[in-house]
Amino acid sequence: MKSEGFHHGNLRAALIEAARAVMEETSSSDLSLRDLARRVGVSPMAAYRHFADKEALLRAVADGGFGELVLGMEAALAADATPLARVLDMGRAYVAFARAHPAMFDLMFAAPVAGLEASPDNGTKAFGLLQGAVAACSPAGTPQGKVAAATIRLWSVVHGYSRLALAGRLVASSMTPAFLDEVIVPVIETLERP
Amino acid sequence: MKSEGFHHGNLRAALIEAARAVMEETSSSDLSLRDLARRVGVSPMAAYRHFADKEALLRAVADGGFGELVLGMEAALAADATPLARVLDMGRAYVAFARAHPAMFDLMFAAPVAGLEASPDNGTKAFGLLQGAVAACSPAGTPQGKVAAATIRLWSVVHGYSRLALAGRLVASSMTPAFLDEVIVPVIETLERP
DNA sequence: GAGGTAAGTATGCGGTGTAAACATGAAATC
DNA sequence: GATTTCATGTTTACACCGCATACTTACCTC
């Protein structure tokens, strides 16, 4: 075992966990550094030994969220036999994650992230998963551009649906699993078309 | 002409306009009541004579944004001959608005809006426009549920695409008008399918 | 043991949203 | 025309926030 820290013992992880907890409690993504410090039992300025500023902390929290999302998507990948079923279940998992963790989902896509291709995060990993699953649906020899458009088409649908649901723009009857399938499936069918 | 106010002269509208201006300047949707008051030349507490709290002001600003969005969508509606072309142009207008006014777009879908069907806003008006255009594409006798799903499918695509673009999750080559069409058109084609 | 250094603390500054009490001036009543 | 009313704007105050700066602590190395 490493030293695990002196005063507190891995404050960094504790802060991230506290942030996650607050967001689950309040269903809101705006949290306060001071509050996190209070919960962890540390002085208000302690967080700055581990994060450059508040945004850096939020970024770390968001990246953890993307990691969890990736897990859900990978589970969907492993659970199905056909490429189309895999893509469908990945879409369902995406929406399910958003609705289960609205504040986290909000945070993950909150600030425009810069220099992303320089240092890819778990968000790009999630995108890669989706892209692979979509490519597996496309007929052999499909041009790369088509696959890219299809990937973003599908991502846009599930992402947009999630956002609209979280924003309260969908009525209850539009948020059932069956309705979601009605929204997604025709888009998935466009994937294997010439 | 009505009285136009005593002390200031329609402070309410001035605050909303100031908010809009700040958001255009900073490309960010987090603004400060005190800053708005400062810009309008009024004391920090003056805004509370016209808005219950900050959120109420933001809601009013957002509703103005939806109004502008509706104008863009109506223009697209009027500019084309066929139902499919109308829907396509509405989608383009939606994305164009989001990219032209990122902060406003952010604000419009920021907080989950409650009791929406009780008092519809310009957001529901925008949705109604889209729904009508989609219905016009559907074969006669298409069940209502299909139309609803198709509407939300299309809305989800354009909304999700806009969000991903604003979040910096799309590479430059995925943000050209041609690429956007590649994303949207196949979804529009699902509208007139049985 | 003496230093060095990473981790946490104390203090303080300028900013925020908003509650409460007060001031002002246009308009309505007499 | 004087008086009352009431919407509008101001003042003051409070609790909170992110963060800069300077300090202290506790471990590790030599």
DSSP secondary structure, A111-171, as one string? SPPPSTTTS--HHHHHHHHHHHHHHHHSPTT--HHHHHHHHHHHHHHHHHHHHHHHTT-S-
Q: Where in chain B is the domain with CATH 1.10.10?
A: 9-51
Q: What pLDDT does residue B6 have? A: 52
Cβ distance of A149 and B112 shorter than 8 Å = no
- Nucleotide lying nearest to B41, CA to C1' measure: D9
Q: Where in chain A is the domain with CATH 1.10.357.10?
A: 62-192
Half-sphere exposure of B118 (CA within 13 A, CB side): 4
In angstroms, the CA of B75 and the C1' of C22 are apart by 50
Tell me: the pLDDT tens digits for B50-93? 999 999 999 999 999 999 999 999 999 999 989 999 999 999 99
Q: Quick check: A3 pLDDT over 50?
A: no
The SS3 assignment for B130 reads helix
Q: Quick check: B120 pLDDT over 90?
A: no
* Those residues with Cβ within 8 angstroms of residue A45's Cβ, 6 or more apart along the chain or in another chain: A37
Tell me: the pLDDT tens digits for A10-20? 999 999 999 99
Tell me: the pLDDT tens digits for A77-131? 999 989 999 999 999 999 999 999 999 999 999 988 877 888 889 999 999 999 9
Q: Is B86 exposed, middle or buried, given 0-12, 13-18 or 19+ CB atoms closer than 10 A?
A: buried
Q: Quick check: B3 pLDDT over 90?
A: no
Q: Select the residue of A145, A146, A157 nearest B157 (Cβ to Cβ).
A: A157
Q: What pLDDT does residue B7 have? A: 62
Please determine, looking at this structure, whether the domain spanning A1-51 carries the CATH number 3.40.50: no
Place of tokens 């948020």: A175
Taking the C-alpha atoms of residue A122 and residue B74, their distance in angstroms, rounded to an integer, is 39
Band (pLDDT 50/70/90 cuts) for residue B114 is: confident
Cβ distance of B117 and A171 shorter than 8 Å = yes
Band (pLDDT 50/70/90 cuts) for residue B118 is: confident
Cβ distance of B109 and A167 shorter than 8 Å = yes
Q: What pLDDT does residue B194 have? A: 67
Nearest to residue B99, comparing CAs of B30, B151, B167?
B167
Q: Does A160 lie at the interface with B, CB-CB under 8 angstroms?
A: yes
Band (pLDDT 50/70/90 cuts) for residue A160 is: very high
Q: Quick check: A1 pLDDT over 80?
A: no
In angstroms, the CA of A136 and the C1' of D19 are apart by 49
Q: What pLDDT does residue A63 have? A: 97
A11 residue type, one letter:
L
Asked if strand D comes closer than 7 Å to B45 Cβ, the answer is yes
- Nucleotide lying nearest to B55, CA to C1' measure: C17
Please determine, looking at this structure, whether the domain spanning A62-192 carries the CATH number 2.120.10.90: no
Taking the C-alpha atoms of residue B161 and residue B155, their distance in angstroms, rounded to an integer, is 10
Tell me: the pLDDT tens digits for A28-46? 999 999 999 999 999 999 9
**Mean pLDDT for chain A overall:** 93
Nearest to residue B182, comparing CAs of A192, A133, A147, A127?
A147
Taking the C-alpha atoms of residue A163 and residue A93, their distance in angstroms, rounded to an integer, is 14
Band (pLDDT 50/70/90 cuts) for residue A4 is: very low
Contacts of A159 in chain B (CB under 8 A): 156, 160, 163-164
* CATH fold for domain B9-51: Arc Repressor Mutant, subunit A (1.10.10)
Work out the percent of chain B whose per-residue pLDDT is above 70: 95
Q: What pLDDT does residue B25 have? A: 97
Q: Name the CA dihedral angle for A115, A116, A117, A118, rounded to a multiple of 10 degrees.
A: 50
Q: Lowest-confidence range among A109-113, B121-125, B132-136, B153-157?
A: A109-113
Which residue on chain B is closest to A146 by alpha carbon?
A: B182
Contacts of A143 in chain B (CB under 8 A): none
Q: Of 1.10.357.10, 1.10.20.10, 1.10.150.240, 1.10.10.10, which CATH number belongs to B61-192?
A: 1.10.357.10
What positions of strand D are covered by protein, i.e. any atom < 7 Å from a CB? 7-13, 16-22, 26-28
Q: What pLDDT does residue A194 have? A: 67
Asked if strand D comes closer than 7 Å to B38 Cβ, the answer is no
Asked if strand D comes closer than 7 Å to A1 Cβ, the answer is no
Which residue on chain B is closest to A128 by alpha carbon?
A: B169
Place of tokens 């504790």: A14
* Those residues with Cβ within 8 angstroms of residue A16's Cβ, 6 or more apart along the chain or in another chain: A57, A60, A61, A64
Q: What pLDDT does residue A112 have? A: 85
Nearest to residue B79, comparing CAs of B134, B133, B147, B139?
B133
Taking the C-alpha atoms of residue A172 and residue A164, their distance in angstroms, rounded to an integer, is 12
Band (pLDDT 50/70/90 cuts) for residue B111 is: confident
Q: Does A163 lie at the interface with B, CB-CB under 8 angstroms?
A: yes
Give the torsion sign (CA, B93, B94, B98, B104): positive
B3 residue type, one letter:
S
Work out the percent of chain A whose per-residue pLDDT is above 70: 95
**Mean pLDDT for chain B overall:** 93
Taking the C-alpha atoms of residue B44 and residue B112, their distance in angstroms, rounded to an integer, is 27
CA angle A78, A83, A84 (to 5 degrees): 115
Contacts of A118 in chain B (CB under 8 A): none
Over residues A66-77, the mean pLDDT reads 97
Q: Where in chain B is the domain with CATH 1.10.357.10?
A: 61-192
- C-alpha distance across the termini of chain A, in Å: 56
Q: Does A167 lie at the interface with B, CB-CB under 8 angstroms?
A: yes
- State the helix-helix crossing angle for A144-166 and B144-166, rounded to 10 degrees: 100
